[in-house]
Structure 1
Amino acid sequence: MAAQPKRGGVSLPERRSASKPESSILARITSSPIFSRGKQAACDAAFASKKLIRSTGKAAWIAGTTFLILAVPLIIEMDREQQFGELELQQASLLGAPSTASANK
């Protein structure tokens, strides 16, 4: 079986100790194909998670700056227009003219 290139993972060199034989239970588990497939799956999942988090952050940045550039000035202008309308009604009531808001009702 040919070695596949690894994405996002770090492979460490295997340790071989002269005092412990190669047939230890830990050595047999770590050299099993199930263990290596699990390790590869974990590395792939970590790589995909990092990419997802990075792209989500970029999308949030784009949405936030778009909101600041487009929506905030619109909200400010709508508030100004409302205050201007209230000021006109207040001035009209002080001058004794009939209120346009009560005439429409």
Structure 2
Amino acid sequence: MAAQPRRGGISLPERRSASKPDSSIIARITSSPIVSRGKQAACDAAFVSKKLLRSTGKAAWIAGTTFLILVVPLIIEMDREQQFTELELQQASLLGAPPTAPAHP
């Protein structure tokens, strides 16, 4: 007795053999030189942006620490000087001396 096909059920699509070239449209598009150039351009753009982000972070760190070391003490000292000048003016006004205009260099 010969093997008879089963009735009902699902029929599966035939599998492609390894020797048969894949000629689907998706395979042709993904293997095209335009797509490979696009992938390479995307990889290059990601590499450049990563390097740019890293160097920008380093520059921001240098600028921030320089600001803290050089500018913040200067701002604090200028504030102290202003408070000292205001205190002198207040004491002079209490003692009855004529007010003098603060000297601005």
Select which of 12, 16, 22 maps to 1:19. 16
Q: Which residue of 2 aligns with 1:43?
A: 43
Q: Which residue of 1 aligns with 2:101?
A: 101
Q: Which residue of 1 aligns with 2:79?
A: 79
Q: Which residue of 2 aligns with 1:33?
A: 33
More helix per residue: 1
Q: CA deviation at 1:52?
A: 0.5
Does 2:67 correspond to 1:67? yes
Moved over 2 A (4+): 18-21
Q: Which residue of 2 aligns with 1:91?
A: 91
Identity of aligned residues (%): 86
The structure number with the bigger radius of gyration is 2
Does 2:50 correspond to 1:53? no
Q: How many residues are paired up? A: 85
Aligned-residue CA RMSD (Å): 1.6
Helix, strand or coil at the partner of 1:100: coil
1:45-95: CA deviation from partner (whole Å, max 9, x where unpaired) = 000000001100110010011001000000000000000000000000001
Helix, strand or coil at the partner of 2:101: helix
The amino acid of 2:42's aligned partner reads A
RCO higher in 1 or 2 (8 Å CA, sep ≥ 6)?
1
* Aligned counterparts of 2:16 and 2:74: Cα–Cα separation in 1: 75
